[in-house]
């Protein structure tokens, strides 16, 4: 639990969110400002700042995040139509919330571009 981290507060149910899946390691909830019909954030239940802060000590959480994608895709009904997973890291990556999170986006045909200026 990191002081003033909004996603830690979501994990601890201190602020409301629409959780679609959770287990011991992972929490998945709807993005507040969805860019597609399906837009879910999948996060570890411990505070990891970003991809640069993954270590042998917390890699178990990352493994569970990767296992959770197909569960979340089924729950959200996009497992057959497909989806995109995006993880922004640091300043140039455009990461706004400094708690590791993966955007799972789908429910429509996404554009070819994976990056915008
Ligand atoms: P990023 O730019 O990769 O750091 O993405 C942060 C994402 O978190 C954005 O898509 C926001 O819409 C989303 N977000 C911020 N606060 C909340 C919240 N309280 N509940 C759900 N999603 C949020
Ligand atoms: Zn946090």
* CATH code for the domain of 88: 3.30.428.10
Is residue 26 helix, strand or coil? strand
* 80 pLDDT tier (thresholds 50, 70, 90): very high
Report H helices in 12-104.
Answer: 59-75, 90-93
Ligand 1 atom nearest to CA at 39:
10
Pocket test residue of 18, 40, 97, 115 for ligand 1, highest count of atoms within 8 A of CB: 97
As a whole number, the mean pLDDT across the chain is 96
Stated pTM of the model: 0.96
Cα separation, 65 vs 70, in Å, equals: 10
How many structural domains compose the chain?
1
Please enumerate in sequence order all residues whose Cβ is within 8 A of that of 87, keeping only pairs 6 or more positions apart, or say none. 51, 100, 101, 102, 103
The yes-or-no answer on residue 101 being catalytic is yes
Does 10 score more than 70 pLDDT? yes
Percent of the chain scoring above 70 in pLDDT: 97
- Residue span of the structural domain in which 35 resides: 6-106
CA–centroid distance, residue 93 to ligand 1 (Å)? 14
The answer to whether 21 and 28 have CB atoms below 8 angstroms apart is yes
Residue 116 included in any domain: no
The answer to whether 51 and 57 have CB atoms below 8 angstroms apart is no
* 112 pLDDT tier (thresholds 50, 70, 90): confident
Residue 13 included in any domain: yes
Average pLDDT over residues 64-76: 98
Does 87 score more than 80 pLDDT? yes
Please enumerate in sequence order all residues whose Cβ is within 8 A of that of 38, keeping only pairs 6 or more positions apart, or say none. 76, 77, 78, 83, 104, 105, 106, 107
Pocket test residue of 16, 27, 33 for ligand 1, highest count of atoms within 8 A of CB: 33
């Amino acid at each position: 639990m990191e002081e003033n981290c909004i996603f830690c507060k979501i994990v601890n149910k201190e602020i409301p969110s629409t959780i679609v899946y959770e287990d011991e390691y992972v929490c998945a909830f709807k993005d507040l400002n969805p860019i597609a019909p399906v837009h879910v954030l999948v996060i570890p239940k411990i505070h990891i700042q970003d991809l640069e802060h993954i270590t042998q000590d917390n890699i178990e959480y990352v493994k569970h995040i990767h296992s959770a994608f197909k569960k979340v895709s089924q729950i959200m009904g996009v497992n057959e139509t497909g989806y995109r997973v995006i993880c922004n890291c640091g300043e140039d990556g455009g990461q706004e919330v400094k708690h590791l999170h993966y955007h799972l986006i789908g429910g429509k045909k996404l554009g070819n571009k994976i990056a915008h200026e």
